């Protein structure tokens, strides 16, 4: 039986939701996969002693999408959680978004997120990311970064850090990046 691209995408995402909702015994994994004339898709879910994860992806000749999530807890009390997803369509563009948060057994914490959007019609894109962290002794760390880029030409980034200064980075294709401190 040959499935259409839409059927494969729908079944892949539905499978991910179903597999992630099913309670698996320790150290268990489940996978499903489908293939059509112009596309493939699949989903997975697994659970082990320290955590679980699930995801799905669909890939066609001219488009695709995927998503995943996971959560873990270590034997000493630390935790880590993440989620992300993205999609693309040839000639149109692509995006990806993701995030995480973590806690160490001694009380340190960290969280972060990123986003990347590309417009294939204009050849331009934007990437943003940030991380905030606090050590177990209370010291703050982190950054926020924004980048705008143009295919074949270069990029401009602004990076604002906690405790390490702020910077602009300019890159034109064919030359070296120029880094300028913007800290007061």
pTM as predicted: 0.79
* pLDDT band for position 170 (cuts 50, 70, 90): very high
What local confidence, expressed as pLDDT, does residue 163 receive?
86
Distances (CA, A) of 3 to 7, 33, 37, 160: 6, 12, 7, 48
d(C-alpha 37, C-alpha 18), whole Å: 25
What local confidence, expressed as pLDDT, does residue 17 receive?
53
What local confidence, expressed as pLDDT, does residue 1 receive?
44
Radius of gyration of the chain (CA): 20
Calculate mean pLDDT across residues 14-26.
Answer: 52
| Domain ranges, ordered by start, for the chain | 1-60, 74-184
* pLDDT band for position 41 (cuts 50, 70, 90): confident
Calculate mean pLDDT across residues 174-182.
Answer: 93
Report the phi/psi class of residue 29: left, alpha or beta, with left for phi > 0 and alpha for psi in -120 to 50: beta
What local confidence, expressed as pLDDT, does residue 39 receive?
82
Calculate mean pLDDT across residues 27-47.
Answer: 82
């Amino acid at each position: 039986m040959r499935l259409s691209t839409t059927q494969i995408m729908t079944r892949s995402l539905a499978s991910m939701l179903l597999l992630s909702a099913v309670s698996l015994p320790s150290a268990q994994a489940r996978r499903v996969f489908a293939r059509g004339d112009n596309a493939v898709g699949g989903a997975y879910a697994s659970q082990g002693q320290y955590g679980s994860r699930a995801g799905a992806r669909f890939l066609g000749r001219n488009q695709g999408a995927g998503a995943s999530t996971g959560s873990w807890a270590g034997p000493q009390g630390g935790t880590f959680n993440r989620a992300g997803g993205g999609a693309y369509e040839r000639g149109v563009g692509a995006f990806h978004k993701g995030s995480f948060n973590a806690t160490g057994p001694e009380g340190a914490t960290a969280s972060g997120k990123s986003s990347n959007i590309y417009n294939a019609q204009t050849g331009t894109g934007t990437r943003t990311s940030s991380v905030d962290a606090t050590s177990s002794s209370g010291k703050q760390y982190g950054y926020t970064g924004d980048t705008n880029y143009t295919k074949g030409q270069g990029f401009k980034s602004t990076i604002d850090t906690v405790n390490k200064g702020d910077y602009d980075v300019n890159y034109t294709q064919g030359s070296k990046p120029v880094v300028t401190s913007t800290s007061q």
